[in-house]
A and B are shown apart, each in its own frame.
Chain A
């Protein structure tokens, strides 16, 4: 019986393995040199080339850490440390928690087989070595390992890209310090809160410089969240800046944005949008809304907060909608609060939502003299939002007021605040809006 006999029945096993598989690094741990040689011989015949060896349990652990194999073949019984112990130690290490480990054992005892899998083995290999079984199991586990690794690379790449997109989106938002400085020059204070529910959000807000006496502020909220909604915020940002000549005319800007978005958005997608021109020189605000949650307005320090009617069709649903501009007084001492529906609709620990009216109540309950930042904090607290609460929806809040006390005398009647600062040129507003 010549050793080179070509058995006709074995040709079906002669599957040519791809380089992805045969390029895998395999560690063979067995205290018996002949067994190591035999396993290696079978693998080499299948064109596996990156083989390393360990002659016991401890050396297997060392080798795993330096060689970082893609698959480990462990003999169950080794004198210093048995295969199961090696397996357990490797599984405890996050680096090797899911590398394929095949335990070689002569046992057919069902209980012992169970222990082997409980101990973290990916599979077993029977002894005496059966070459076809050895190859089949090694190939199956390397294929699984390769696809797991590809998936992991893919996920890492996607999450890096999402992070980059998140940063880009963040850069669309006004820069808080520059914004505050610019607002202060106009006798205004401003604060904002923006948190997406996932890494990328569908909310966008910004400030548009118009002239010395006024500026615009917008808040948009696209349906859904995540990549789709985020891409739409980039589109909208570009569109808003395309229509600079309409920034002073809220109704016209919103109507134009609607015409453009109707053509861009798929059915079922839309955005709510609120655009407010704050005219601090005239002491008024002019706004147009596209289905946005109502803004809350406090007209002077002594006034009660009330909701501004913002009801209208959201952007991107129907062509030819004419959005109208509404006007409200905005005297010194006034406060304006804009928010996306993530705030009134946040379900608190009891599953209750504060709602628009609840926000008005909460705002009326705020002690006098709070800064816009403090007002936002109070409202978040009233809604049950904490720094760590996971948000089911993207949430944006912008609060601005005309409550800066003149330098010398504190303002209490809300009328004497036409400060010299209000006449300065808003040089920095454009930085915030980019």
Chain B
């Protein structure tokens, strides 16, 4: 968890790269979708853990990591990576979920400010 806190909420460099390469409207639409997609992933991980499906939880975390890292949500991506690769048991994974939930909200806030200012 310490690693996740070390990460800034947003990866400004990545966002700059996306801005240079994408139509502004398209980027806004993608960033706006990210929190809901992250919430879906959280729900999927929670459900998988409840069913004792470690592999299912890892796969959901992997998808979350992919979209978050590419869309510049650095801290979310780090937590997802942590769940996917560094947690060995359901209990260890479940322990990450509150932070994941919090970070989704914080990321949603930060992204909405980015989108508004566009």
Contact = CB atoms under 8 A, between A and B. Distances in A.
Given A106-B69, A127-B70, A34 B33 contact: yes
A2 B69 contact: no
Contacts of A392: none
B23 A45 contact: yes
B6 interface: no
Interface residues of A, number: 31
A324 interface: no
A31 B59 CA distance: 11
Contacts of A30: 66
B47 interface: no
A7 B22 CA distance: 12
Nearest to A135: B21
Interface of A: 1-5, 7, 10, 13, 30-35, 37-38, 41-42, 44-45, 75, 77, 79, 106, 127-132, 135
Nearest to B23: A45
Interface of B: 12, 14-24, 26-30, 33-34, 37, 59, 62-63, 65-67, 69-72, 77, 114-115, 117-118
B40 to A, nearest CB: 10
A250 to B, nearest CB: 79
A131 B18 contact: yes
A177 to B, nearest CB: 71
Contact of B117 (A1, A41, A131, A132): A1
A132 B22 contact: no
Contacts of A132: 17, 21
A7 B19 contact: yes
6 contacts: A4-B118, A34-B67, A37-B26, A37-B33, A38-B22, A127-B70
A3 B70 contact: no
A127 B65 CA distance: 10
Given A2-B117, A41-B26, A35 B70 contact: yes
Given A106-B66, A131-B22, A34 B71 contact: yes
A137 B94 CA distance: 39
Nearest to A37: B30
Contacts of B16: 5, 7
A39 to B, nearest CB: 9
